[in-house]
Amino acid sequence: MTELLEYAISRLKTLPADEQDAIAAMILEELEDERRWDEAFARSPDLLAKLASEAMAEYRTGKTQELDPDKL
């Protein structure tokens, strides 16, 4: 376990039980989201490569435009 994680856990231990549970639920949800993303990407590397290739082809032929950060 890293020092940062140990420090975070030591701080969490000082919180009331309901706050500890809320943070634990957020962490577990984040870990589950990461697992699902990893699974999805592992199942579709060819599709992702194809989409990336298509996007680059569109970029090279001038079919794309830069995003304006002020309009996001």
| Burial (Cβ within 10 Å: 0-12, 13-18, ≥19) of residue 23 | middle
* Average pLDDT estimate for 39-48: 81
pLDDT of 45 strictly over 80:
no
Mean pLDDT of all residues belonging to the chain: 92
Instruction: State the pLDDT at residue 30.
Output: 96
The band of 49, judged by pLDDT with boundaries at 50, 70 and 90, is confident
Would you list the domain boundaries of the chain? 3-60
Q: Please state, in angstroms and as integers, the Cα–Cα distance from residue 10 to each residue in 7, 23, 31, 59, 68, following that order.
A: 5, 13, 20, 49, 43
Read off the pLDDT band of 12 (50, 70, 90): very high
> Which of 15-19, 26-30, 68-72 has the lowest average pLDDT?
68-72
Show the CA angle centred on residue 29, arms to residues 10 and 26, nearest 5°.
40
